[in-house]
Amino acid sequence: MKSKSIKVDYLARVEGEGRLLVKIKNNKVSDVKFNIIEPPRFFEAFLRGRRFTEAPDITARICGICPVAYQMSSLHAMESICGKKVTGPLRDLRRLLYCGEYIESHALHIYLLHAPDFLGYEDAIQMAKDHPELVKKALRLKKIGNDLMILLGGREIHPINVKVGGFYKVPTKKQLEEHIEPLKWALEFALETVKVTATLPFPDLERDYEFVSLHHPEEYPLCEGKLVSNKGVDITIDDFLKCFEEEHVEHSTSLHARVKARGDYLVGPMARYNNNFDRLPAVARKAAKEAGLEKSCSNPFKSIIVRAVETAFACHEALRLIKKYEMPDKPYVEVKPRQGTGHGCTEAPRGILYHRYKIDSNGVIQDARIIPPTSQNQKSIEADLLRFVEKNIELPHDKLTWQCEQVVRNYDPCISCSCHFLKLKIERE
Amino acid sequence: MSTKKKPKLAVWKFASCDGCQLSLLDCEDELLAVAGEVHIANFPEASRAVVRGPYDISLVEGSITTPHDAERIHKIRRVSKSLITIGACATAGGIQSLRNFKDVRDFISIVYASPQFIDTLNKSTAISDHVTVDFELRGCPINKYQLVELINATLNGRKPNIPTYSVCVECKRKGIVCVMVAAGTPCLGPVTQAGCGALCPSYNRGCYSCFGPKETPNTTSLGAWFEHLNVPKDDIVRAFRGFNAYAEPFRKESEAYEK
């Protein structure tokens, strides 16, 4: 009898603290655990008793990588409780801010966190020694996304300019137009990134995923739409908790989510792409096709190409929104609190982020529920690991360990979010 | 020319959102230059490679919230020549220190179905409550240019140029009209340390104190001004209970209003 284990005690190049344990007995995988060991921070508890207007600033602090997602989901929830809808240029500016976060977050993940795996570098700084121009361009792309966030949000991490009902201050047309030339460069480089990522060596891994994302009648989804999947989910976001549930397992401080009727599901770029290919702008669809991506993609290693396609979308969309922008008379609409329960679900770069709040007639939060994308992907990550190790059990230990880490990084997991670090261990007995 | 060994930099994480360490990766124009001057020896968010200590500079993000972390910080102190905390969590306990005002057991049962799996301390505390800290960099998040300045100063053995005066000074320098005087908007700027560039007032908004209390803050006077502006007492409590809620001057002021 031969057993061993693959163990990574601190998974690198992810956001937050997690670890991975794969146990192998007689050349069969006996156990897979993706542990989230991030210390719990209890956001849902201390939101109780805070004002409804404070939710965007407080929940942004769950995650320094995707604060805009937290702000947008909480804003939509609060506005739906109070019966207000933000439309016109204010809605466009929110979408533009989200485009900034997509460009920044995807550029970070594609080049600084994910590409080094495919090319065999420990990190992007080592990669920069052999590919200095590419890394410099990647940093420039990231900066263009951050610059949009700085203009619209005040700063790139934990923006201060969004509020329930709109913004504190809106930019002038001229201020936005200064971003046109950099964004045109960014779009070209994003398209080049689609080509570059498509040439990477992709390990074999396909599963029959349930892809869950938002779907909007006219646009590639960011803030609004119905929740859909390729296996029959078709609900409004208000019904999220009727369709999905969370369970608390011992090895994780993050709750695991599942589709009540079926089990694990996948959220994030691959889910959005598969459910919304037709909503991508023609330039992004063309780049995807030329890169050999079909309308659907179910090899999670190829999510790096999908992220590049989405980056091209975000640049294209940002340019479109800037061109049509007319500065509104007032930076926000007045929102008065009223008693009720409301839901918000928007597409964070790493997948859907659901918020539910109950507030009283004075606007004080009575109850809060937050389901971040990484806790929704945990079960899928474990299932991918199981399948991957089973198929690649003969690989040398070091290589297998590295590739298992990569299986996790495919999801761009944000562990700070989901609980809110990653340690990987493969045990062979 | 001798090939001088590059100083080693490590980044450590406790309870936090990862935003402050991300600030280092957000230095798009400076990142490769910084990597040229220091050996990034332990920075899991950016690299798989881990070089053993001791380290010349340790940047510590996050607050202490678990028994295990309360042990871990001592190990980090022992392998670090200079230990620098980055951000409001590491410096003051962060937003998660709101638990310190309540019974944490109630909090666990609100969030988790099986509380027996959760191992946590009653309070979220600053790193300096546990070990000696060489410098505390403020902010939620930190200002990345202050971070680069601090690394530069530490490597060159000089005092970092990081002011401890209030946000008001930055506001006046930028020529921003005072939001409290002119628009009656409650603003924590007068008691908050500078560093953000008076961001909120420049967006027509009152400061909500990402950078925590300035040196010798007169919180009592500011509280009285808030009352003067007809801010309800429970909102004054909320104002002081933000991202630096457990920093002593803010804690005392919020407790005074809660009575």
Provide mean pLDDT across the span A358-375.
Answer: 93
Task: Tell me if B18 and A155 make a contact (CB, 8 A cut-off).
Answer: no
Top residue of A48, A111, A114, A125 to mutate, by most chain B CBs within 10 Å, is A125
pLDDT given at position B231: 97
Cα distance between residue A279 and residue A316, in whole Å: 13
What is the tally of helices (H) and strands (E) in chain A? 16, 14
Q: What single letter denotes the amino acid at residue A86?
A: V
**Worst-scoring range by mean pLDDT, A71-80, B43-52, B70-79, B132-141?**
B43-52
* Terminal-residue alpha carbon distance, chain A: 8
Q: What is the CA radius of gyration of chain A?
A: 21
pLDDT given at position B180: 97
> Band of the pLDDT at B1, cuts 50, 70, 90?
very low
Task: Quote the pTM value.
Answer: 0.94
Task: Using an 8 Å CB-CB cutoff, list chain A residues near B187.
Answer: none
Q: Of B253, B197, B243, B251, which is closest to residue B222 (Cα–Cα)?
A: B253
Provide mean pLDDT across the span A207-230.
Answer: 96
> Band of the pLDDT at A33, cuts 50, 70, 90?
confident
Distance from CA of A305 to the nearest CA of B (A): 20
pLDDT tens for each residue of B174-190: 999 999 999 999 999 99
- ipTM value: 0.94
Is the CB of A108 inside 8 Å of chain B's CB atoms?
yes
- pLDDT higher than threshold 70 for residue A223: yes
In this structure, the strands spanning A340-348 and A351-359 are antiparallel
Task: Using an 8 Å CB-CB cutoff, list chain A residues near B50.
Answer: 10
Distance from CA of B22 to the nearest CA of A (A): 7
Cα distance between residue A405 and residue A390, in whole Å: 15
pLDDT given at position A2: 64
C-alpha to C-alpha distances, A31 to A12, A35, A60, nearest whole angstrom: 22, 12, 35
Provide mean pLDDT across the span A383-405.
Answer: 91
Q: What single letter denotes the amino acid at residue B244?
A: N
- pLDDT higher than threshold 50 for residue A420: no
**Chain-centroid distance, C-alpha A311:** 13
Give the nearest partner residue to A51 out of B35, B98, B238, using CB atoms: B238
Main-chain phi, psi angles of B231, to 5 degrees: -80, 125
Mean pLDDT of chain A: 91
Hey, where are the domains in chain A?
Answer: 7-39+392-428, 43-206+281-370
Nearest CA in chain A to B25: A108
Q: A residues 196-255 near B, CB within 8 Å?
A: 247-250, 253, 255
What's the topology of domain A43-206+281-370?
Answer: Cytochrome-c3 Hydrogenase; chain B (1.10.645)
Q: CB neighbours (10 Å) of residue B2?
A: 4
Q: Which residue has the tokens 């069969």?
A: A28
Q: What single letter denotes the amino acid at residue A167?
A: F
- pLDDT higher than threshold 60 for residue A28: yes
- pLDDT higher than threshold 90 for residue B121: no
Nearest CA in chain B to A64: B19
Cα distance between residue B203 and residue A303, in whole Å: 37
pLDDT given at position B48: 84
Task: Tell me if B49 and A58 make a contact (CB, 8 A cut-off).
Answer: no
- Sorted by sequence, the CB contacts under 8 Å of residue B78 that are 6+ apart come out as none
Task: Tell me if A46 and B141 make a contact (CB, 8 A cut-off).
Answer: no
Q: Which residue has the tokens 């980056």?
A: A311
pLDDT tens for each residue of A244-295: 988 777 666 667 788 988 889 999 999 999 999 999 999 999 999 999 998 8
Cα distance between residue A98 and residue A95, in whole Å: 5
Is the CB of A101 inside 8 Å of chain B's CB atoms?
no
Specify whether the CB–CB gap between A97 and A60 falls below 8 A.
no
Task: Using an 8 Å CB-CB cutoff, list chain A residues near B114.
Answer: 248, 250
Task: Tell me if A421 and B44 make a contact (CB, 8 A cut-off).
Answer: yes
pLDDT given at position A70: 96
Q: What single letter denotes the amino acid at residue B56?
A: D
Distance from CA of A299 to the nearest CA of B (A): 24
Provide mean pLDDT across the span B38-47.
Answer: 88
Q: A residues 120-139 near B, CB within 8 Å?
A: 122-126, 128, 135-136, 139
Task: Using an 8 Å CB-CB cutoff, list chain A residues near B102.
Answer: 45-46
C-alpha to C-alpha distances, B225 to A320, B201, B247, B258, nearest whole angstrom: 46, 17, 21, 17
Provide mean pLDDT across the span A36-45.
Answer: 79
Cβ burial A31-43 (10 Å sphere, 16+ → b, else e): ebbbbbbbbbbbb
pLDDT given at position A274: 97
C-alpha to C-alpha distances, B143 to B61, B158, B199, nearest whole angstrom: 14, 19, 11
The segment with the largest mean pLDDT, out of A254-263, A369-378, B127-136, is: B127-136
- pLDDT higher than threshold 90 for residue A24: no
Nearest CA in chain A to B97: A41
Domains of chain B: 8-155 (3.40.50.700), 167-258 (no CATH)
Is the CB of A58 inside 8 Å of chain B's CB atoms?
yes
Check residues B208 and B104 and name the one with the higher pLDDT.
B208
Q: Of B66, B32, B132, B155, which is closest to residue A135 (Cα–Cα)?
A: B32
- Sorted by sequence, the CB contacts under 8 Å of residue A407 that are 6+ apart come out as A205, A300, A381, A384, A385, A388
Residue A238 region, left (φ>0) first, then alpha (ψ -120 to 50), else beta? Answer: alpha
Strand partners, A368: A357
Strand partners, A341: A358
Strand partners, A271: none
CA A269, A272, A274, A278 dihedral sign is negative
Distance from CA of A36 to the nearest CA of B (A): 12
Task: Tell me if B28 and A139 make a contact (CB, 8 A cut-off).
Answer: yes
pLDDT given at position A421: 30
- pLDDT higher than threshold 50 for residue A419: no
Q: What angle do CA B55, A158, A72 make, to 5 degrees?
A: 140
pLDDT given at position A1: 47
- pLDDT higher than threshold 90 for residue B56: yes
Top residue of A129, A157, A418 to mutate, by most chain B CBs within 10 Å, is A157
Give the nearest partner residue to A124 out of B46, B99, B111, using CB atoms: B46
What is the 3-state secondary structure of B43-59?
A: CCCCECCECCCCEEEEE
pLDDT given at position A413: 83
Find the length of chain A.
Answer: 429
Cα distance between residue A161 and residue B204, in whole Å: 9
DSSP letters spanning B73-99: HHHHHHTEEEEEEESHHHHH--GGGGG
The helix (run of H) or strand (run of E) holding residue B111 is helix B104-111
Residues of chain B with pLDDT > 70: what percent?
95
Q: CB neighbours (10 Å) of residue A136?
A: 15
